[in-house]
Structure 1
Amino acid sequence: MRTINWPSPTPLRLLALLACLTACSPGEDVQTAAQQPAESAAMPTDTTLRTIGQGQLTGLVQNNGSLAWRNIPYAQPPVGELRWKLPQPPEPWAGTYAATDIIQPCPQFVSTLSAGIADPDGDGIVGSEDCLYLSVYAPSDIPEGEQLPVMYWIFGGGNNSGYAGDYNGGVLAETQDVIVVTVNYRLGSLGWFYHPAILEAGASGAAASGNWSTVDTIAGLQWVQDNIEVFGGDPGNVTIFGESAGGGNVMSLVTSPMAEGLFHRAIVQSGGIATTSMEQGVNYTDDPIPGHEHSSREIINKILIRDGLAADRASAKVIQDAMSDADIRELLYSQDAAEFLKLYNPEAARNYPAPKKFTDGTVFVGQDPLDQLASGNYNQVPIILGTNRDERRIYLYAAMMDVIRNDPQEYIRFAHYPSIQWKWRGVDNLARRMAPVQDAPVYAFRFDWDEQRTSENGLDMSIAIGAAHSTEMAFIFGDWDVGFISGDALYHDASNPGRDALSAAMMSYWSHFAYTGETARGRNGDLPLWQPWQNGEGNPKTLILDSEAGGGIRMMSQEVTLESIKADFMAEQWSDPQNRCRAYLSTFAGTEAFDRDEYVGLIEGGCSSR
């Protein structure tokens, strides 16, 4: 692809609009030495010398003393004939491999999740298809012969963006005595793509699934099984955890028969569960069983039109239907990755629509995933499910700046409903099904911390952002530059002590869960008791994670259903009737609660006519 200038391990990532609104001076973080950002501080030393199946390698000693081995290939590069193929075992190397570079991203559109990655040709695409790498982080002092729990991080970004190199596990590893692994995986249409023509003769099972990205994360787990002991990790105690799309990918592994036995606990942060039929992945949109707008056959139509081989979609279909599998295969494999991605997203937005997670019968079973959970037919392990209280504010604030300034309660009201719907979709609706059918505990959390600063321009970030999507990650990694918005844009001296105490508590809960499969009172036994989810009114459900100033860490018994969200929404009073229309769509569109007649009648004159 193209040359990439690598960023620092913890890039300060500010949305462009936010940067112009927050002329903030840096505040000093109140942290222990072990919680300081774990950037690399030394050249490779014999302290980091290890021998794995591929050969010898050395890593880095980081500022906080933790050890890091970065950019280790866990599979062969999925390039050339290996594009849209199962990940192949990595090749051994001669000599000593310097595992010191930051993992490069897989091909993706430029966004806040690729901040710091150069785009020298200015085409709006960064990254390389040679991207199947992982990193390992370990504490500085592991007693000889001891095996520590392994925490396997799957990053988020809509499964279209982001990269593992943006997450440094050194603080979590050093303070909690765990081994942290961060893994890259193929993204978007290079990670999930199915067409019969690309399959090798006789291909079956996962090799004919189109779920290349999901199998990447499984291959990374297999690498952990084969190699993690030499880094001090226990292959018999692996916790998979991830956020947003990464959380959804954790649920993919929980439900995939192929991942059975490769992990022993799971943590889902702002995730969910969904699959796509094979027909949606490959069919034309006007077939008897319609395909997705970006199915493989519709993408081939776009290639033919783009290259001047067809005048329009109708003529492209005629041409495509006359092509042999060999011709289609040659056409698809000849595509430059960047030009191929642009077929899906000519506007170059980060999160382009593309079918993913195909119910092929091998990687994903041919069953509705919610029914699968209710049946108990999945990889039953202790699991944590959680969301953030204000998930959707991160997506709303830029377009609702005037509302934030002039009517903040209306903004809070608007953002509440799609945010609580995320809790229903990603936590309560799953926990209610899983808790009765598995012996292992199911835990739930809601992250509520919202003590951000006010910008010099007067924007109250605790309202604009609050406990928004991704803001909990910094607390779990002890790295205040992690997340969509980070660093000085959010934090300030007055709230940093409470922030740091909550971060320590969350790392304690997460690591104790990795050790034992229980959350209890954390590693040191000094935190409020985190009880498992129990169905039934009045029983414990969800742990609220907040600083003492925000009410502290405590259990709550309330749960949400789609019906309860709808009832609350319909009783709500709005300053601007149009906000009621927009919030209804944002909350209920795509769910069984959406009612077209109800939507039209929400306001005088009808929502749909405005």
Structure 2
Amino acid sequence: MRHIWLGLLGVLAVSACSGTGERPPQPLEATVRTVGQGELVGFQHSPGAWAWLGVPFAAAPEGDLRWRAPRPAPAFNGRFEALEHPEPCPQFTSALQASSGVEPGQLVGSEDCLRLDIYAPEGASSDNANRPVMVWIHGGANVWGFAGQYDGAQLAKDQDVVVVAVQYRLGGLGFFASDTLRADATDPRDAAANFALLDQIAALEWVRGNIGAFGGDAGNVTIFGESAGGHNVAGLLASPLASGLFHRAIIQSGSFDSVSWEAASGAEPGQSNTSDEVALRIAGDGYTAEALRAADLETVFNAYRGDDGAPFLNLPRMIEDGVTIPRDGLANAFASPDTFNAVPVITGTNRDEMKLFNAFRGDLVNRYLGVILVSRNRQFYDTIAEYQSRTWRILAVDQAASRIQAGGHGDVWAYRFDWDEQGRALFVMDLSHLLGAAHAMEIPFVFNHFDFFGRLDGAMFNSNNASGREALAAAMGAYWAEFARTGEPGTGGPTNLPRWERWNENGLLMRFDSPQANGQELITGTDSFEQLEADLAADTRLDDAQRCTVVEAIAAWRPRGSLDAMRQRMGCE
């Protein structure tokens, strides 16, 4: 699954909205808090919700601190005004940011980015620090994204929780398996490769030490994330360095794969843009750790560009470094509660995950006037997405949940998100068909905040589907918060929703949809690659050429040997 996002990050472009409107927020004296670095002040985000934005949780990882474990944040110089989202970590802008006037492929961000945003119900303080804390880890293939994409105020207010959105190093600054840098380690954690995970661990350490001031219970922390954020949640579950820092985990459309240190560094073949290749591009033959850290930011990121200037987004991530991730692999860590942080876990996927990506494939979709998208073959468009999305589910739900339970850890719940009531845009663009329950579509429902997909929001989240999606958002928020509160989603607390039972050997998932489509209901059944292949071989909707196109569409998820065998069985060689 590790390369499914490549070249398509633009479809994850979402709006950054603080909820404060055009006027800059004003400091609110009632939000003054004292943390380890000193005093800070937030603002009234919206009626019933307070926010503190851009709070540093570690020192800027720049200069000699680049490619090292994060160090403690320095003390504030006077009162810190936590009124604006932090500048993103360095990254290439994505394709659909062009709709906001931003050219894709541009380098933006600052290395002084290890900051977080906090949202809490109005009145939350150390005097009532008993609320569950929900720490959000953003997605974006671990090469793109930022805290300001996500507004946690409504979730905090609706569910009486404290929401924290964290930033972390991305791309080559976040994932770099260099023997040269490892030899220069001055702290045992410096010998890691997943600096992004170290940043998230540092954020959780900051939360443990300071969240009580914002009304949160440091002894009841839930980590949750989507896509690459879900992958990172899995990484934190497997990381011995994160032990005790969180107490529940939610993986939304995540992944459980990893790559060896040897492959990521370049000592073994098979990976693109290994650390050895990139280090040579940055500092030349005979490069040193000092030279790599002294290189300016543009030089580092230009090492991930092709001759045409286009960014390379395929680089090793979630590396088996033996520091943050065990050397025998991420997935293997879940075989026993003794080898991962065995807290209650929810894992799930969206029914139509891959439609978000397929909607921008020229071989599947025609584009008119630059903005109108129409599938070339409606039935094939649905069918290829079905097999791709089933593949995602098999890896992220069926295999993962079964592996965890088979190892002796029973506290696992699973879901499938099915909402597809977007309707049409511009009269001819059928968003229910093109996107449906696509990748990332569940995020606005979890946050109950529908200012998310930029220019598509008004079309997708409209008056025709308002009552149904509002009911679905209330249900998902209730389940997520009850899980954070008690370690079981149950009936969503006092809302008395259908009881969400644990995953079992027969497969048991909560299906999420609007009341018009049966609402929340438990469904049974498991999926597997054997079943998928049997269904694909017998699928009368496909001709031989289309069947082979489907095989290639799931190629990135399959080990080489099993893929070659599948090609042969399908007559696709």
> TM-score normalised to the size of structure 2?
0.89
Structure 1 residue 490 corresponds to structure 2 residue 460: yes
Give me the whole-angstrom Cα distance separating, in 2, the residues matched to 1:281 and 1:355: 5
1:276 aligned onto 2:236: no
Measured on the aligned residues, the alpha-carbon RMSD in Å equals 2.7
Matched with 1:596 is 564
Distance 1:485 1:351 in 2: 26
CA spacing shift, 1:94–1:595, aligned 2, 3 Å? closer
Q: Kindly state the Cα deviation for residue 84 of structure 1 after the two structures are TM-superposed.
A: 0.5
Q: Which residue of 2 aligns with 1:130?
A: 112
Going by fraction, where is strand more abundant, 1 or 2? Answer: 2
Cα distance in 2 for partners of 1:49, 1:379 equals 35
Alignment check: 8 A CA contact 1:60 1:67 kept: yes
Equivalent AA in structure 1 for residue 351 of structure 2: R
Kindly tell me: are residues 237 and 17 of structure 1, through their superposed partners in 2, closer, same or farther at Cα, counting changes over 3 Å?
closer
Distance 1:595 1:84, change over 3 A: closer
Structure 2 gaps, min length 5: 1-8, 367-372
User: Whole-Å Cα distance in 2 between the matches of residues 397 and 249 of structure 1?
Assistant: 26
Residue aligning to 1:419: 389
**1:589 to partner: Cα distance:** 4.1
Taking the TM superposition and a 5 Å limit, the aligned residue runs for 1:519-538 are 519-535=489-505, 537=506
Assess, with a 3 A threshold, how the Cα gap between structure 1 residues 150 and 597 changes in structure 2: closer, same or farther: closer
2:202 is aligned with 1:219: yes
Closer, same or farther in 2 for the Cα pair 1:113/1:204, shift >3 Å? farther
Distance in 1, matches of 2:179 and 2:414, equals 41
- Deviation, 1:515, is 0.4
- Name the CA distance, whole Å, in 1 between partners of 2:20 and 2:449: 10
C-alpha displacement at 1:581, in angstroms?
1.8
- When residues 16 and 208 of structure 1 are mapped into structure 2, their CA distance, relative to the original with a 3 A threshold, is closer
User: Percent identity of the aligned residues?
Assistant: 36
1:267 is the counterpart of 2:240: no
- Which digits, 9 at most, give the CA deviation of each residue in 1:260-286, with x for residues without a partner? 0000000000001122211112235xx
Which of 255, 262, 270 is 2:238 aligned to? 255
- Supply the AA of the counterpart residue of 1:353: N
Larger displacement relative to structure 2 (542-551 or 67-76)? 542-551
Please name the residue that 2:510 is paired with: 543
> How many residue pairs align between the two structures?
549
Q: Deviations over 1:29-87 (max 9, x none)?
A: xxxxxxx9843674111111111110111011012330000000000111111110110
Match for residue 3 of structure 2?
none
Moved more, 40-49 or 156-165: 40-49
Task: Give the TM-score of the pair, scaled to structure 1.
Answer: 0.84
Give the conservation status (yes or no) of the 8 Å contact 1:114–1:161: no
User: Within 5 A, what are the aligned runs for 1:76-155?
Assistant: 76-111=59-94, 124-142=106-124, 144-155=127-138
The equivalent of 1:10 in structure 2 is: none
Structure-1 residue corresponding to 2:20: 39
Residue 360 of structure 2 aligns with which residue?
Answer: 398
Structure 2 residue aligned with 1:388: 350
The amino acid that maps onto 2:520 is I
Q: Is the 8 A contact 1:574 1:580 kept in 2?
A: no
Residue in structure 2 matched with residue 441 of structure 1 by the alignment: 411
Range 61-70 or range 510-519, more displaced: 61-70
Larger Rg over CA atoms? 1
Moved more, 590-599 or 141-150: 590-599
Q: Relative to structure 1, is the Cα distance of residues 17 and 370 closer, same or farther in structure 2, using a 3 angstrom cutoff?
A: closer
Shift of 1:119: 5.8
CA distance in 1, matches of 2:99, 2:214: 29
2:301 equivalent to 1:341? yes
Q: 1:351 to 1:506 in 2, by over 3 A?
A: farther
Matches within 5 A, 1:261-410: 261-284=244-267, 289-290=268-269, 292-303=271-282, 320=285, 323=286, 327-346=287-306, 352-376=313-337, 377-399=339-361, 400-402=364-366, 405=375, 407-410=377-380
Name the stretch that deviates more: 517-526 or 355-364: 355-364
Q: Report the AA paired with residue 266 of structure 2.
A: N
1:597 and 1:562 map into 2 onto residues whose CA distance is 13
Distance 2:550 2:469 in 1: 31
SS in 2 for 1:544: strand
Give, as a single letter, the amino acid of the residue that structure 1 aligns with 2:346: I
Q: Which amino acid aligns with 2:564?
A: R
Q: What code does the residue aligned with 2:567 have? A: Y
Is the CA contact 2:10–2:94 (under 8 Å) kept in the aligned structure 1? no
